[in-house]
Structure 1
């Protein structure tokens, strides 16, 4: 088990210093560091090695896993995915509303991006301003020509008006399936778990530090890229299926996200009572409050506190979190 330093590649939208305050480190004067890529073996789209995690000993995590994949990931996972953890976890600090964008699903990514992964993602809200919202899905059916016109002419007001503005608060768990247009509103700090890609199609870029017309379509051109967008109406009933938690199957564990997330990844809220039990699995732990000790069957105990992030290998075995502490644990889908 290893505590990780912050890994904050520069982005095109602004943060508000929440990640650095959360982690207890000095924030840079430059506000364009709104993400922390945790235990990442995924690089920025066409910007490798940007985004990859370096372990405290100086080795890339991706290289360490490639050297000992079964130790890190477990025999069954390696049989299914090779030396690929199959998830990416981030801290994300929305200092401004993110642009409306969309991620392709697995069939689209397989056909056009030479990847077995799309980018279904999910959010665990850590902090939220009183009026915080996420924009999630179109509230009505949108015709292809209408969407193409909005994007080409950057009719941002019309696009946003067609989306669902969904209020969120600390503790919420929200799934965002691939294909669904979305934008995280300002004033939110969250843990994001997702498929391990950096595939984004920008529907909006005006006012952001990026040339979306050139860089917002994954090199595919917008005629093709927009075909990955889910233009169907996301009614209140459909949206309800994207929110919620489930009872855990181990002490001190609450399962996050609905069953729709299960093919892609899993996440748990750990709240020891008096302990949280973690079965053997490659996982990423983000400590959200308090302090405690993470004990492992086959590794030395790890003292943790709010703001810490840790990577746990499969070989650590059964783990137990103890103390007045809460954390979010993210892990790959069960093979």
Structure 2
């Protein structure tokens, strides 16, 4: 494979089937087709993870990201395999091999997602043989009211919940009882929410989020029918663990409302402010060792992006412009997503007159 590795790689759109409906706002934001809700409410970005969708096994590459090239599209996994250190960085490859160690998504919910949980690393290793669990963080890019309901999330067990009570509610399929076990918290655009693996949660309707997470698709669901009426296969609930062992994935620590808000809602931090650019930390290493995010706002003046020892993933949240580097350039428009290998020479961003907002997501140190 004879390609220049050290350059930004534009990612092709990668919509993934899910058990819930949504995607209308995501379509509109991407300026991509008719803004309607369906079962493809998620865009997986820089993904080397295959989606776990029982019944769709014939979709062999569902979830994997493709790159734009001068010729035929190329799987990101194939380009990484051709030059792991060039694509990921020497230190990253030493620790994680050819795995990116992180997954980025965009998701837009038209209905409440089923109540769910994801295993932590030790549980994932024990039950799934995976070195990664699924801690995740959400950055609220936008919200909408659906049927007069303000966007919200369900998050964390209330103080009186026990494992025995939780399992009993599941076996009775007492959905209202399960909802009542979790804190309901309204969310607003611009908020960042960190959901550690093991904490039960559900995203409500009307949430347009950027998600950064550990790179797995292990989702334990306790509702056997989605809010819109889709009956789930057993495997979609327990992911092959069975209906007893799946409850080992929950952490049964309980929280008062103020405790779960303090634990999960992250305050952004200003990193720098210049006449032509402004950057802020959305999620830092001190709050999560598995990934981090920052956001850059730039004007028409070129903003230099210093070379970094590791890779990153970039998403154009708003605006238009260009990314330039030694030997080339790519236009930028809202919704564009990029994979940035390490040590790109002379890379800088240029906005049009309306400004540019750009989020960069980083793997583990």
- Same fold at TM > 0.5: yes
2:307, 2:344 within 8 Å by CA — same for their partners in 1? no
Q: Tell me how far apart the structure 2 counterparts of residues 99 and 276 of structure 1 sit (CA, whole Å).
A: 43
- Work out which of the residue numbers 47, 71, 88 in structure 1 matches 2:103: 88
With normalisation by structure 1, the TM-score equals 0.92
Structure 1 partner of 2:4: none
With normalisation by structure 2, the TM-score equals 0.85
Structure 2 partner of 1:333: 364
2:268, 2:282 within 8 Å by CA — same for their partners in 1? yes
Secondary structure, counterpart of 1:90 in structure 2: strand
Query: Aligned Cα RMSD in Å?
Result: 2.2
1:241-300 alpha-carbon deviations (Å, 9 max, x no partner): 32222333797321112556431101111112663745523111111111122233x452
The reply to whether residue 282 of structure 1 matches residue 311 of structure 2 is yes
2:22, 2:37 within 8 Å by CA — same for their partners in 1? no
Q: Tell me how far apart the structure 2 counterparts of residues 233 and 138 of structure 1 sit (CA, whole Å).
A: 5
Secondary structure, counterpart of 1:241 in structure 2: helix
Q: Tell me how far apart the structure 1 counterparts of residues 231 and 340 of structure 2 sit (CA, whole Å).
A: 35
Q: Where do 5+ consecutive residues of structure 2 fail to align?
A: 1-7
2:293, 2:361 within 8 Å by CA — same for their partners in 1? yes
Pair 310,161 (structure 1): closer, same or farther in 2 beyond 3 Å: same
> Which aligned pairs between 1:1-335 and structure 2 lie closer than 5 A?
1-27=8-34, 31-45=38-52, 47=57, 48-56=60-68, 57-129=72-144, 131-207=150-226, 208-235=229-256, 236-243=258-265, 244-248=267-271, 252-257=278-283, 259=285, 261-272=287-298, 275=303, 277=305, 279-280=307-308, 281-296=310-325, 298=326, 300-317=328-345, 319-323=347-351, 324-334=355-365
1:65-92 alpha-carbon deviations (Å, 9 max, x no partner): 0111111111111111111110111110
1:253, 1:277 within 8 Å by CA — same for their partners in 2? no
Runs of 4 or more above 4 Å deviation? 258-261
1:94-113 alpha-carbon deviations (Å, 9 max, x no partner): 01111110000000011110
Q: Where do 5+ consecutive residues of structure 1 fail to align?
A: none
